[in-house]
Chain A
Protein backbone atom coordinates (compact mmCIF):
# COMPACT_ATOMS: atom_id res chain seq x y z
CA UNK A 1 0.00 0.00 0.00
CA UNK A 2 2.66 2.43 1.07
CA UNK A 3 4.87 1.30 -1.78
CA UNK A 4 1.96 1.65 -4.17
CA UNK A 5 1.32 5.17 -3.02
CA UNK A 6 4.92 6.11 -3.50
CA UNK A 7 4.91 4.62 -6.98
CA UNK A 8 1.91 6.77 -7.88
CA UNK A 9 3.60 9.90 -6.56
CA UNK A 10 6.73 9.04 -8.47
CA UNK A 11 4.84 8.34 -11.67
CA UNK A 12 2.98 11.67 -11.38
CA UNK A 13 6.26 13.54 -11.11
CA UNK A 14 7.65 11.73 -14.14
CA UNK A 15 4.59 12.51 -16.27
CA UNK A 16 4.64 16.24 -15.43
CA UNK A 17 8.40 16.51 -15.92
CA UNK A 18 8.45 14.57 -19.20
CA UNK A 19 5.54 16.60 -20.57
CA UNK A 20 7.40 19.81 -19.80
CA UNK A 21 10.87 18.76 -20.84
CA UNK A 22 10.49 16.56 -23.92
CA UNK A 23 10.52 19.29 -26.59
CA UNK A 24 13.57 20.93 -25.04
CA UNK A 25 15.36 17.59 -24.68
CA UNK A 26 14.48 16.67 -28.23
CA UNK A 27 15.96 19.94 -29.48
CA UNK A 28 19.09 19.40 -27.46
CA UNK A 29 19.53 15.90 -28.91
CA UNK A 30 18.92 17.05 -32.46
CA UNK A 31 21.33 19.93 -32.15
CA UNK A 32 24.14 17.36 -32.00
CA UNK A 33 22.97 15.46 -35.08
CA UNK A 34 24.18 15.87 -38.63
CA UNK A 35 21.90 16.77 -41.50
CA UNK A 36 22.36 13.29 -43.00
CA UNK A 37 21.44 11.57 -39.78
CA UNK A 38 18.23 13.55 -39.63
CA UNK A 39 16.82 12.12 -42.86
CA UNK A 40 17.60 8.53 -41.90
CA UNK A 41 14.68 6.18 -41.81
CA UNK A 42 13.64 5.12 -39.24
CA UNK A 43 14.50 8.27 -37.35
CA UNK A 44 17.15 8.09 -34.65
CA UNK A 45 16.51 9.33 -31.13
CA UNK A 46 20.03 9.62 -29.76
CA UNK A 47 22.63 11.20 -32.05
CA UNK A 48 24.86 8.52 -33.65
CA UNK A 49 27.87 10.71 -34.27
CA UNK A 50 27.51 13.78 -32.02
CA UNK A 51 28.85 16.98 -33.52
CA UNK A 52 29.15 20.59 -32.44
CA UNK A 53 29.18 21.85 -36.02
CA UNK A 54 25.57 23.07 -35.77
CA UNK A 55 26.50 25.40 -32.94
CA UNK A 56 29.33 26.87 -34.96
CA UNK A 57 26.95 27.44 -37.87
CA UNK A 58 24.30 28.86 -35.53
CA UNK A 59 26.69 31.64 -34.59
CA UNK A 60 27.95 32.31 -38.11
CA UNK A 61 24.85 31.89 -40.32
CA UNK A 62 22.90 34.62 -38.52
CA UNK A 63 24.01 37.34 -36.08
CA UNK A 64 22.52 35.44 -33.14
CA UNK A 65 24.57 37.34 -30.57
CA UNK A 66 23.20 40.56 -32.01
CA UNK A 67 19.64 39.17 -31.74
CA UNK A 68 20.37 38.26 -28.15
CA UNK A 69 21.78 41.70 -27.37
CA UNK A 70 18.66 43.27 -28.91
CA UNK A 71 16.44 41.06 -26.78
CA UNK A 72 18.39 41.87 -23.64
CA UNK A 73 18.22 45.62 -24.32
CA UNK A 74 14.52 45.63 -25.19
CA UNK A 75 13.45 43.25 -22.43
CA UNK A 76 15.72 44.88 -19.83
CA UNK A 77 14.70 48.47 -20.46
CA UNK A 78 11.00 47.68 -20.83
CA UNK A 79 11.15 45.75 -17.55
CA UNK A 80 12.79 48.68 -15.81
CA UNK A 81 10.20 51.12 -17.15
CA UNK A 82 7.35 48.79 -16.27
CA UNK A 83 8.62 48.23 -12.72
CA UNK A 84 9.13 51.91 -11.92
CA UNK A 85 5.75 52.96 -13.32
CA UNK A 86 4.00 49.91 -11.90
CA UNK A 87 5.54 50.40 -8.45
CA UNK A 88 4.33 53.99 -8.27
CA UNK A 89 0.83 52.96 -9.34
CA UNK A 90 0.73 49.95 -7.01
CA UNK A 91 1.86 52.14 -4.12
CA UNK A 92 -0.81 54.73 -4.79
CA UNK A 93 -3.48 52.06 -5.07
CA UNK A 94 -2.58 50.09 -1.97
CA UNK A 95 -1.09 52.46 0.58
CA UNK A 96 -2.73 55.82 0.00
CA UNK A 97 -6.29 56.57 0.89
CA UNK A 98 -7.65 57.29 -2.55
CA UNK A 99 -11.24 57.72 -3.62
CA UNK A 100 -12.52 55.14 -6.13
CA UNK A 101 -9.31 53.21 -6.05
CA UNK A 102 -10.93 49.94 -7.09
CA UNK A 103 -12.39 51.71 -10.07
CA UNK A 104 -9.02 53.20 -10.99
CA UNK A 105 -7.41 49.79 -10.62
CA UNK A 106 -9.94 48.05 -12.87
CA UNK A 107 -9.70 50.88 -15.38
CA UNK A 108 -5.91 50.59 -15.54
CA UNK A 109 -6.16 46.84 -15.99
CA UNK A 110 -8.93 47.03 -18.59
CA UNK A 111 -6.98 49.51 -20.71
CA UNK A 112 -3.79 47.54 -20.40
CA UNK A 113 -5.55 44.28 -21.35
CA UNK A 114 -6.42 45.59 -24.80
CA UNK A 115 -5.69 42.81 -27.31
CA UNK A 116 -2.18 43.19 -28.64
CA UNK A 117 -3.15 42.30 -32.19
CA UNK A 118 -5.66 45.17 -32.32
CA UNK A 119 -2.99 47.45 -30.92
CA UNK A 120 -0.42 46.28 -33.45
CA UNK A 121 -2.12 47.99 -36.41
CA UNK A 122 -2.30 51.55 -35.02
CA UNK A 123 1.06 51.24 -33.25
CA UNK A 124 2.75 50.21 -36.48
CA UNK A 125 1.15 53.16 -38.27
CA UNK A 126 2.13 55.53 -35.45
CA UNK A 127 5.74 54.35 -35.25
CA UNK A 128 6.04 54.47 -39.02
CA UNK A 129 4.79 58.03 -39.15
CA UNK A 130 7.19 59.02 -36.35
CA UNK A 131 10.06 57.26 -38.12
CA UNK A 132 10.58 55.01 -35.10
CA UNK A 133 10.43 51.64 -36.84
CA UNK A 134 13.62 49.66 -36.25
CA UNK A 135 14.33 51.47 -32.99
CA UNK A 136 14.36 49.91 -29.53
CA UNK A 137 11.87 52.55 -28.45
CA UNK A 138 9.19 51.03 -30.70
CA UNK A 139 9.28 47.82 -28.66
CA UNK A 140 10.22 49.09 -25.20
CA UNK A 141 7.11 51.22 -24.78
CA UNK A 142 4.51 48.60 -25.79
CA UNK A 143 6.31 45.88 -23.83
CA UNK A 144 6.17 48.02 -20.70
CA UNK A 145 2.40 48.26 -21.22
CA UNK A 146 2.15 44.55 -21.93
CA UNK A 147 3.42 43.65 -18.46
CA UNK A 148 2.02 46.62 -16.58
CA UNK A 149 -1.14 44.85 -15.31
CA UNK A 150 0.54 41.74 -13.96
CA UNK A 151 3.46 43.70 -12.48
CA UNK A 152 1.16 46.20 -10.77
CA UNK A 153 -0.94 43.38 -9.33
CA UNK A 154 2.04 41.40 -8.08
CA UNK A 155 3.66 44.45 -6.48
CA UNK A 156 0.35 45.61 -5.00
CA UNK A 157 -0.02 42.19 -3.35
CA UNK A 158 3.40 42.56 -1.76
CA UNK A 159 3.01 46.23 -0.78
CA UNK A 160 -0.18 45.39 1.06
CA UNK A 161 1.68 43.11 3.46
CA UNK A 162 4.12 45.76 4.71
CA UNK A 163 3.05 47.30 8.04
CA UNK A 164 2.16 50.99 7.58
CA UNK A 165 3.92 51.82 10.89
CA UNK A 166 7.35 51.37 9.32
CA UNK A 167 6.57 53.96 6.72
CA UNK A 168 5.08 56.30 9.30
CA UNK A 169 8.26 55.96 11.38
CA UNK A 170 10.41 56.85 8.39
CA UNK A 171 8.26 59.89 7.75
CA UNK A 172 8.51 61.01 11.37
CA UNK A 173 12.27 60.79 10.92
CA UNK A 174 11.97 63.32 8.12
CA UNK A 175 11.59 61.12 5.08
CA UNK A 176 9.17 62.26 2.40
CA UNK A 177 6.39 59.97 1.29
CA UNK A 178 8.11 59.13 -2.01
CA UNK A 179 11.39 58.83 -0.12
CA UNK A 180 9.70 56.32 2.17
CA UNK A 181 8.48 54.42 -0.86
CA UNK A 182 11.97 54.01 -2.28
CA UNK A 183 13.85 53.64 1.05
CA UNK A 184 11.42 51.60 3.14
CA UNK A 185 8.63 50.03 1.12
CA UNK A 186 10.60 49.00 -1.98
CA UNK A 187 13.43 47.26 -0.12
CA UNK A 188 10.91 45.39 2.04
CA UNK A 189 8.88 44.47 -1.00
CA UNK A 190 12.03 43.54 -2.93
CA UNK A 191 10.96 39.91 -3.48
CA UNK A 192 7.70 41.12 -5.00
CA UNK A 193 9.41 43.74 -7.13
CA UNK A 194 11.90 41.15 -8.26
CA UNK A 195 9.20 38.63 -9.10
CA UNK A 196 7.33 41.23 -11.12
CA UNK A 197 10.58 42.05 -12.93
CA UNK A 198 11.16 38.43 -13.93
CA UNK A 199 7.63 38.12 -15.29
CA UNK A 200 7.99 41.33 -17.29
CA UNK A 201 11.35 40.22 -18.62
CA UNK A 202 10.09 36.82 -19.76
CA UNK A 203 7.01 38.41 -21.37
CA UNK A 204 9.19 40.80 -23.34
CA UNK A 205 11.74 38.13 -24.22
CA UNK A 206 9.02 35.86 -25.63
CA UNK A 207 6.96 38.42 -27.53
CA UNK A 208 6.80 37.80 -31.25
CA UNK A 209 4.04 39.71 -33.05
CA UNK A 210 5.22 43.26 -32.29
CA UNK A 211 8.85 42.28 -32.64
CA UNK A 212 8.05 40.97 -36.11
CA UNK A 213 6.10 44.10 -36.96
CA UNK A 214 8.29 46.90 -35.62
CA UNK A 215 11.72 45.60 -36.60
CA UNK A 216 12.28 44.62 -40.23
CA UNK A 217 16.01 45.23 -40.36
CA UNK A 218 17.95 42.04 -39.58
CA UNK A 219 20.33 43.83 -37.23
CA UNK A 220 17.39 45.00 -35.09
CA UNK A 221 15.58 41.66 -34.86
CA UNK A 222 15.05 40.23 -31.42
CA UNK A 223 15.75 36.61 -30.63
CA UNK A 224 12.20 35.29 -30.98
CA UNK A 225 11.99 36.61 -34.55
CA UNK A 226 15.66 36.04 -35.36
CA UNK A 227 15.32 32.30 -34.81
CA UNK A 228 12.82 32.05 -37.66
CA UNK A 229 15.46 33.42 -40.05
CA UNK A 230 17.40 30.15 -39.94
CA UNK A 231 14.84 28.43 -42.10
CA UNK A 232 14.88 28.70 -45.87
CA UNK A 233 11.75 29.20 -47.91
CA UNK A 234 11.22 25.45 -48.21
CA UNK A 235 14.17 23.95 -46.37
CA UNK A 236 14.21 23.37 -42.65
CA UNK A 237 17.72 22.59 -41.46
CA UNK A 238 16.44 21.18 -38.18
CA UNK A 239 19.79 20.42 -36.52
CA UNK A 240 20.88 24.01 -37.13
CA UNK A 241 17.54 25.42 -35.98
CA UNK A 242 17.75 23.25 -32.87
CA UNK A 243 21.21 24.52 -32.05
CA UNK A 244 20.01 28.11 -32.45
CA UNK A 245 16.94 27.39 -30.32
CA UNK A 246 19.09 25.87 -27.59
CA UNK A 247 21.32 28.95 -27.57
CA UNK A 248 18.22 31.15 -27.48
CA UNK A 249 16.47 29.43 -24.59
CA UNK A 250 19.48 28.88 -22.34
CA UNK A 251 19.33 32.37 -20.77
CA UNK A 252 15.62 32.12 -20.04
CA UNK A 253 16.00 28.56 -18.73
CA UNK A 254 18.69 29.65 -16.31
CA UNK A 255 16.54 32.55 -15.17
CA UNK A 256 13.48 30.43 -14.42
CA UNK A 257 15.51 27.56 -12.96
CA UNK A 258 17.24 29.85 -10.47
CA UNK A 259 14.11 31.79 -9.53
CA UNK A 260 11.49 29.08 -10.02
CA UNK A 261 9.73 29.54 -6.68
CA UNK A 262 9.43 33.29 -7.16
CA UNK A 263 8.17 32.92 -10.70
CA UNK A 264 5.47 30.43 -9.67
CA UNK A 265 4.47 32.68 -6.77
CA UNK A 266 4.30 35.73 -9.02
CA UNK A 267 2.34 34.04 -11.79
CA UNK A 268 -0.26 32.77 -9.40
CA UNK A 269 -0.46 35.99 -7.35
CA UNK A 270 -1.10 37.96 -10.53
CA UNK A 271 -3.52 35.37 -11.81
CA UNK A 272 -5.53 34.32 -8.81
CA UNK A 273 -5.92 37.78 -7.37
CA UNK A 274 -6.52 39.37 -10.77
Chain B
Protein backbone atom coordinates (compact mmCIF):
# COMPACT_ATOMS: atom_id res chain seq x y z
CA UNK B 1 0.00 0.00 0.00
CA UNK B 2 2.66 2.48 1.03
CA UNK B 3 4.88 1.34 -1.81
CA UNK B 4 2.11 1.94 -4.30
CA UNK B 5 1.40 5.34 -2.82
CA UNK B 6 5.06 6.26 -3.05
CA UNK B 7 5.18 5.20 -6.65
CA UNK B 8 2.14 7.20 -7.61
CA UNK B 9 3.43 10.18 -5.69
CA UNK B 10 6.69 9.94 -7.59
CA UNK B 11 4.86 9.57 -10.89
CA UNK B 12 2.72 12.59 -10.09
CA UNK B 13 5.83 14.56 -9.17
CA UNK B 14 7.42 13.76 -12.50
CA UNK B 15 4.19 14.67 -14.26
CA UNK B 16 3.98 18.03 -12.50
CA UNK B 17 7.59 18.84 -13.32
CA UNK B 18 7.13 17.95 -16.99
CA UNK B 19 5.74 21.33 -18.14
CA UNK B 20 8.68 23.17 -16.57
CA UNK B 21 11.12 20.69 -18.07
CA UNK B 22 9.53 21.00 -21.53
CA UNK B 23 9.59 24.79 -21.39
CA UNK B 24 13.24 24.81 -20.33
CA UNK B 25 14.10 22.24 -22.98
CA UNK B 26 12.51 24.34 -25.73
CA UNK B 27 13.69 27.77 -24.61
CA UNK B 28 17.05 26.99 -23.02
CA UNK B 29 18.48 23.52 -23.65
CA UNK B 30 17.74 23.19 -27.37
CA UNK B 31 18.78 26.77 -28.27
CA UNK B 32 21.99 26.36 -26.28
CA UNK B 33 22.80 23.15 -28.13
CA UNK B 34 22.30 24.95 -31.45
CA UNK B 35 24.37 27.85 -30.10
CA UNK B 36 27.32 25.57 -29.54
CA UNK B 37 26.91 24.02 -32.98
CA UNK B 38 26.46 27.40 -34.70
CA UNK B 39 29.59 28.71 -33.02
CA UNK B 40 31.52 26.11 -35.01
CA UNK B 41 30.10 27.25 -38.34
CA UNK B 42 30.67 30.27 -40.54
CA UNK B 43 30.07 31.73 -43.96
CA UNK B 44 32.89 31.21 -46.44
CA UNK B 45 33.89 34.72 -47.54
CA UNK B 46 35.16 33.44 -50.88
CA UNK B 47 31.84 31.80 -51.60
CA UNK B 48 29.11 33.49 -49.48
CA UNK B 49 26.26 31.97 -51.48
CA UNK B 50 27.05 28.49 -50.19
CA UNK B 51 25.67 29.28 -46.75
CA UNK B 52 27.13 28.29 -43.43
CA UNK B 53 29.60 25.47 -43.17
CA UNK B 54 31.59 23.81 -40.45
CA UNK B 55 34.72 25.79 -39.60
CA UNK B 56 35.88 24.14 -36.39
CA UNK B 57 37.21 26.55 -33.79
CA UNK B 58 37.87 29.35 -36.28
CA UNK B 59 35.34 31.67 -34.66
CA UNK B 60 36.98 31.28 -31.27
CA UNK B 61 40.41 31.88 -32.79
CA UNK B 62 39.02 34.93 -34.52
CA UNK B 63 37.85 36.31 -31.17
CA UNK B 64 41.39 35.86 -29.88
CA UNK B 65 42.69 38.25 -32.57
CA UNK B 66 39.75 40.64 -32.41
CA UNK B 67 40.66 43.91 -30.66
CA UNK B 68 37.04 44.94 -30.45
CA UNK B 69 36.23 41.72 -28.57
CA UNK B 70 39.08 42.27 -26.09
CA UNK B 71 38.09 45.87 -25.60
CA UNK B 72 34.40 45.02 -24.98
CA UNK B 73 35.50 42.26 -22.61
CA UNK B 74 37.77 44.68 -20.76
CA UNK B 75 34.97 47.25 -20.58
CA UNK B 76 32.63 44.57 -19.16
CA UNK B 77 35.25 43.64 -16.56
CA UNK B 78 35.52 47.32 -15.62
CA UNK B 79 31.76 47.57 -15.14
CA UNK B 80 31.79 44.44 -12.99
CA UNK B 81 34.82 45.49 -10.95
CA UNK B 82 33.41 48.96 -10.29
CA UNK B 83 29.69 48.44 -9.94
CA UNK B 84 29.63 45.24 -7.87
CA UNK B 85 31.51 46.65 -4.86
CA UNK B 86 30.05 50.13 -5.31
CA UNK B 87 26.47 48.86 -5.48
CA UNK B 88 27.16 46.72 -2.41
CA UNK B 89 28.46 49.70 -0.43
CA UNK B 90 25.66 52.02 -1.50
CA UNK B 91 23.09 49.26 -1.00
CA UNK B 92 24.43 48.50 2.46
CA UNK B 93 24.26 52.20 3.31
CA UNK B 94 20.67 52.43 2.08
CA UNK B 95 19.72 49.25 3.95
CA UNK B 96 21.18 50.57 7.21
CA UNK B 97 19.36 53.86 6.72
CA UNK B 98 16.11 52.07 5.92
CA UNK B 99 16.42 49.71 8.90
CA UNK B 100 15.02 52.18 11.40
CA UNK B 101 11.71 52.34 13.20
CA UNK B 102 9.83 54.68 10.89
CA UNK B 103 6.28 55.58 11.70
CA UNK B 104 5.52 56.07 8.04
CA UNK B 105 6.96 53.13 6.15
CA UNK B 106 5.85 53.70 2.58
CA UNK B 107 8.18 56.54 1.47
CA UNK B 108 11.22 54.48 2.42
CA UNK B 109 9.89 51.25 0.96
CA UNK B 110 8.87 52.90 -2.28
CA UNK B 111 12.17 54.76 -2.35
CA UNK B 112 13.86 51.35 -2.52
CA UNK B 113 11.31 49.72 -4.82
CA UNK B 114 11.04 52.40 -7.48
CA UNK B 115 14.61 52.10 -8.81
CA UNK B 116 14.16 48.33 -8.91
CA UNK B 117 10.88 48.53 -10.85
CA UNK B 118 12.11 51.16 -13.30
CA UNK B 119 13.23 49.50 -16.54
CA UNK B 120 17.01 49.66 -17.01
CA UNK B 121 16.66 51.52 -20.31
CA UNK B 122 14.57 54.19 -18.64
CA UNK B 123 17.21 54.63 -15.95
CA UNK B 124 19.80 54.85 -18.73
CA UNK B 125 17.81 57.52 -20.58
CA UNK B 126 17.28 59.60 -17.45
CA UNK B 127 20.93 59.44 -16.47
CA UNK B 128 22.00 60.20 -20.02
CA UNK B 129 20.25 63.44 -19.66
CA UNK B 130 21.55 64.14 -16.15
CA UNK B 131 25.00 63.97 -17.70
CA UNK B 132 24.27 66.06 -20.80
CA UNK B 133 26.68 68.91 -21.36
CA UNK B 134 24.25 71.82 -21.62
CA UNK B 135 20.96 70.75 -20.11
CA UNK B 136 22.21 68.22 -17.57
CA UNK B 137 21.80 68.51 -13.82
CA UNK B 138 25.27 67.17 -13.06
CA UNK B 139 27.11 70.01 -14.80
CA UNK B 140 24.71 72.49 -13.20
CA UNK B 141 25.49 71.13 -9.74
CA UNK B 142 29.22 71.11 -10.52
CA UNK B 143 28.94 74.77 -11.54
CA UNK B 144 27.51 75.69 -8.14
CA UNK B 145 30.64 74.32 -6.46
CA UNK B 146 32.84 76.01 -9.03
CA UNK B 147 33.84 73.08 -11.22
CA UNK B 148 33.86 73.61 -14.98
CA UNK B 149 31.25 71.65 -16.97
CA UNK B 150 32.49 68.32 -18.31
CA UNK B 151 31.77 66.64 -21.61
CA UNK B 152 30.61 63.51 -19.82
CA UNK B 153 29.32 61.42 -22.68
CA UNK B 154 31.89 62.23 -25.34
CA UNK B 155 34.97 61.25 -23.38
CA UNK B 156 35.58 57.49 -22.95
CA UNK B 157 36.65 57.69 -19.31
CA UNK B 158 34.00 60.16 -18.22
CA UNK B 159 31.34 58.21 -20.12
CA UNK B 160 32.39 55.07 -18.24
CA UNK B 161 32.08 56.98 -14.97
CA UNK B 162 28.61 58.22 -15.95
CA UNK B 163 27.48 54.72 -16.95
CA UNK B 164 28.80 53.22 -13.72
CA UNK B 165 26.95 55.88 -11.74
CA UNK B 166 23.68 54.98 -13.44
CA UNK B 167 24.24 51.24 -12.92
CA UNK B 168 25.08 51.71 -9.25
CA UNK B 169 21.99 53.83 -8.69
CA UNK B 170 19.78 51.27 -10.41
CA UNK B 171 21.34 48.18 -8.78
CA UNK B 172 21.92 49.42 -5.24
CA UNK B 173 18.27 49.58 -4.24
CA UNK B 174 17.67 45.91 -5.04
CA UNK B 175 20.79 45.11 -3.02
CA UNK B 176 19.43 47.27 -0.21
CA UNK B 177 16.15 45.34 -0.22
CA UNK B 178 17.94 42.01 0.10
CA UNK B 179 20.34 43.27 2.76
CA UNK B 180 17.46 44.88 4.63
CA UNK B 181 15.73 41.50 4.82
CA UNK B 182 18.98 40.11 6.23
CA UNK B 183 19.26 42.94 8.76
CA UNK B 184 15.77 42.30 10.01
CA UNK B 185 16.58 38.70 10.89
CA UNK B 186 19.31 39.79 13.33
CA UNK B 187 17.86 39.49 16.85
CA UNK B 188 17.70 42.80 18.71
CA UNK B 189 18.90 41.06 21.87
CA UNK B 190 22.41 40.76 20.36
CA UNK B 191 22.70 44.53 20.14
CA UNK B 192 21.23 45.00 23.60
CA UNK B 193 23.78 42.61 25.07
CA UNK B 194 26.58 44.40 23.21
CA UNK B 195 25.37 47.73 24.52
CA UNK B 196 25.44 46.39 28.07
CA UNK B 197 29.03 45.32 27.46
CA UNK B 198 29.81 48.87 26.35
CA UNK B 199 30.39 48.20 22.65
CA UNK B 200 30.38 51.27 20.40
CA UNK B 201 28.07 51.54 17.40
CA UNK B 202 31.02 50.80 15.08
CA UNK B 203 32.03 47.74 17.09
CA UNK B 204 28.44 46.50 16.98
CA UNK B 205 28.44 46.96 13.21
CA UNK B 206 31.71 45.07 12.71
CA UNK B 207 31.16 42.35 15.30
CA UNK B 208 27.42 41.69 14.91
CA UNK B 209 25.89 43.24 11.79
CA UNK B 210 28.51 42.30 9.21
CA UNK B 211 29.00 38.64 10.26
CA UNK B 212 25.24 38.09 10.57
CA UNK B 213 24.68 39.71 7.21
CA UNK B 214 27.22 37.57 5.40
CA UNK B 215 24.81 35.12 3.75
CA UNK B 216 22.65 37.97 2.46
CA UNK B 217 25.73 39.81 1.19
CA UNK B 218 26.89 36.73 -0.71
CA UNK B 219 23.56 36.16 -2.39
CA UNK B 220 23.38 39.83 -3.32
CA UNK B 221 26.92 39.74 -4.70
CA UNK B 222 26.27 36.68 -6.84
CA UNK B 223 23.09 38.21 -8.27
CA UNK B 224 24.83 41.51 -8.94
CA UNK B 225 27.87 39.91 -10.59
CA UNK B 226 25.79 37.74 -12.93
CA UNK B 227 23.76 40.79 -13.92
CA UNK B 228 26.82 43.04 -14.28
CA UNK B 229 28.48 40.59 -16.67
CA UNK B 230 25.46 40.96 -18.94
CA UNK B 231 25.41 44.78 -18.82
CA UNK B 232 23.58 45.98 -21.91
CA UNK B 233 20.62 48.30 -21.41
CA UNK B 234 22.21 51.22 -19.58
CA UNK B 235 25.23 51.79 -21.85
CA UNK B 236 22.95 51.16 -24.84
CA UNK B 237 20.65 53.96 -23.71
CA UNK B 238 23.38 56.32 -22.46
CA UNK B 239 26.05 56.19 -25.14
CA UNK B 240 25.07 53.46 -27.60
CA UNK B 241 28.58 52.12 -26.96
CA UNK B 242 30.21 55.42 -27.93
CA UNK B 243 32.21 57.51 -28.26
CA UNK B 244 33.53 55.16 -30.95
CA UNK B 245 33.21 51.70 -29.40
CA UNK B 246 34.82 52.80 -26.15
CA UNK B 247 31.98 52.02 -23.74
CA UNK B 248 30.70 48.95 -25.59
CA UNK B 249 30.19 45.86 -23.43
CA UNK B 250 30.55 42.27 -24.51
CA UNK B 251 26.76 41.92 -24.52
CA UNK B 252 26.43 44.91 -26.85
CA UNK B 253 29.10 43.54 -29.18
CA UNK B 254 27.33 40.17 -29.29
CA UNK B 255 24.06 41.90 -30.06
CA UNK B 256 25.63 43.94 -32.84
CA UNK B 257 27.45 40.96 -34.34
CA UNK B 258 24.28 38.91 -34.46
CA UNK B 259 21.58 41.46 -35.26
CA UNK B 260 23.39 44.10 -37.33
CA UNK B 261 26.11 42.05 -39.03
CA UNK B 262 24.00 38.84 -39.02
CA UNK B 263 27.19 36.91 -38.31
CA UNK B 264 25.61 34.04 -36.40
CA UNK B 265 28.73 31.90 -36.22
CA UNK B 266 30.88 34.55 -34.62
CA UNK B 267 28.02 35.89 -32.49
CA UNK B 268 27.40 32.38 -31.15
CA UNK B 269 31.07 31.90 -30.33
CA UNK B 270 31.08 35.18 -28.39
CA UNK B 271 27.85 34.21 -26.63
CA UNK B 272 29.41 30.88 -25.63
CA UNK B 273 32.44 32.73 -24.23
CA UNK B 274 30.07 35.00 -22.32
CA UNK B 275 28.39 31.96 -20.83
CA UNK B 276 31.77 30.59 -19.69
CA UNK B 277 32.58 33.92 -18.09
CA UNK B 278 29.30 33.95 -16.22
CA UNK B 279 29.73 30.34 -15.10
CA UNK B 280 33.26 31.05 -13.89
CA UNK B 281 32.09 33.98 -11.79
CA UNK B 282 29.21 32.03 -10.25
CA UNK B 283 31.21 28.93 -9.45
CA UNK B 284 34.04 31.04 -8.06
CA UNK B 285 31.65 32.68 -5.66
CA UNK B 286 30.01 29.40 -4.73
CA UNK B 287 33.35 27.78 -4.00
CA UNK B 288 34.34 30.74 -1.86
CA UNK B 289 31.11 30.67 0.13
CA UNK B 290 31.34 26.94 0.66
CA UNK B 291 34.94 27.21 1.84
CA UNK B 292 34.24 30.06 4.23
CA UNK B 293 31.10 28.29 5.50
CA UNK B 294 33.25 25.20 6.16
CA UNK B 295 35.77 27.29 8.06
CA UNK B 296 33.06 28.66 10.29
CA UNK B 297 31.77 25.22 11.14
CA UNK B 298 35.19 24.09 12.27
Q: Is A48 an interface residue (CB 8 A)?
A: no
Q: Would A228 and B114 count as touching, CB distance under 8 A?
A: no
Q: Would B230 and A12 count as touching, CB distance under 8 A?
A: no
Q: Would A16 and B178 count as touching, CB distance under 8 A?
A: no
* Identity of the chain A residue whose Cβ is nearest the Cβ of B237 in the assembled complex: A228
Q: A residues 84-122 with Cβ under 8 Å of B?
A: 84-86, 88-89, 91-93, 96-99, 101, 104, 108, 111-122
Q: Would B35 and A111 count as touching, CB distance under 8 A?
A: no
Bound CA span A99–B94, Å: 42
Q: A17-B111, A21-B111 are in contact. Are A209 and B278 (CB under 8 A)?
A: no
Bound CA span A20–B126, Å: 13
Chain B residues whose C-beta falls within 8 Å of the C-beta of A104 in the assembled complex: 17
CB distance from A56 to the nearest CB of B (A): 20
Q: Would B120 and A123 count as touching, CB distance under 8 A?
A: no
One of B9, B19, B143 near A85 (C-beta < 8 A): B19
B interface, how many residues as a size bin? 35 or more
Bound CA span A122–B36, Å: 9
Q: Would B23 and A148 count as touching, CB distance under 8 A?
A: yes
Bound CA span A86–B24, Å: 12
Chain B residues whose C-beta falls within 8 Å of the C-beta of A152 in the assembled complex: 20
* Identity of the chain A residue whose Cβ is nearest the Cβ of B180 in the assembled complex: A268
Q: Is the interface of A mostly helix, strand, loop or mixed?
A: helix
* Identity of the chain B residue whose Cβ is nearest the Cβ of A85 in the assembled complex: B19
Q: Would B255 and A238 count as touching, CB distance under 8 A?
A: no
Q: Is B87 an interface residue (CB 8 A)?
A: no
CB distance from B263 to the nearest CB of A (A): 10
Q: A111-B29, A208-B233, A271-B178 are in contact. Are A252 and B98 (CB under 8 A)?
A: no
Bound CA span A119–B38, Å: 13
Bound CA span A256–B106, Å: 11
Q: A42-B140, A85-B19, A88-B20 are in contact. Are A12 and B114 (CB under 8 A)?
A: no
Q: Would A13 and B108 count as touching, CB distance under 8 A?
A: yes
Q: A145-B27, A213-B259 are in contact. Are A208 and B232 (CB under 8 A)?
A: yes
Q: Is the interface of B mostly helix, strand, loop or mixed?
A: helix
A259-274 interface bits toward B, Cβ cutoff 8 Å, 1 = contact, 0 = none: 0110110011001101
CB distance from A266 to the nearest CB of B (A): 10
A17-61 interface bits toward B, Cβ cutoff 8 Å, 1 = contact, 0 = none: 111110110110000000000110111000000000000000000
Bound CA span A124–B118, Å: 25
Q: Is A142 an interface residue (CB 8 A)?
A: yes
* Identity of the chain A residue whose Cβ is nearest the Cβ of B166 in the assembled complex: A23
Chain A residues whose C-beta falls within 8 Å of the C-beta of B119 in the assembled complex: 205-208, 223-224
Q: Would B114 and A20 count as touching, CB distance under 8 A?
A: yes
Q: Is B55 an interface residue (CB 8 A)?
A: no
A232-274 interface bits toward B, Cβ cutoff 8 Å, 1 = contact, 0 = none: 0000101001000100110011011100110110011001101
Chain A residues whose C-beta falls within 8 Å of the C-beta of B104 in the assembled complex: 13
Q: Would B125 and A16 count as touching, CB distance under 8 A?
A: no
Q: Would A115 and B275 count as touching, CB distance under 8 A?
A: yes
Q: Is B6 an interface residue (CB 8 A)?
A: yes
Bound CA span A123–B24, Å: 12
Q: Would B177 and A122 count as touching, CB distance under 8 A?
A: no
Q: Would A12 and B117 count as touching, CB distance under 8 A?
A: no
One of A18, A85, A223 near B20 (C-beta < 8 A): A85
Bound CA span A85–B34, Å: 25
Q: A16-B108, A85-B19, A92-B12 are in contact. Are A42 and B143 (CB under 8 A)?
A: yes
One of B13, B116, B274 near A92 (C-beta < 8 A): B13
Q: A124-B259, A238-B129 are in contact. Are A13 and B114 (CB under 8 A)?
A: no
Q: Would B106 and A88 count as touching, CB distance under 8 A?
A: no
* Identity of the chain A residue whose Cβ is nearest the Cβ of B220 in the assembled complex: A271
One of A16, A117, A148 near B112 (C-beta < 8 A): A16
A binding-site residues for B, Cβ under 8 Å: 8-9, 12-13, 15-21, 23-24, 26-27, 38-39, 41-43, 81, 84-86, 88-89, 91-93, 96-99, 101, 104, 108, 111-126, 141-142, 144-145, 148, 152, 177-178, 202, 205-209, 212-213, 223-225, 227-228, 236, 238, 241, 245, 248-249, 252-253, 255-257, 260-261, 263-264, 267-268, 271-272, 274
- List 22 interface pairs A-B (beta carbons < 8 Å), by A numbering: A9-B101, A13-B97, A21-B110, A93-B17, A98-B9, A98-B10, A119-B28, A119-B32, A120-B255, A120-B258, A121-B35, A121-B38, A126-B34, A142-B27, A145-B27, A227-B122, A249-B117, A252-B117, A253-B114, A256-B113, A256-B117, A271-B223
- New A-B pairs, 7, CB < 8 Å, besides A23-B130, A115-B278: A16-B107, A96-B9, A118-B275, A121-B254, A124-B259, A145-B27, A272-B215
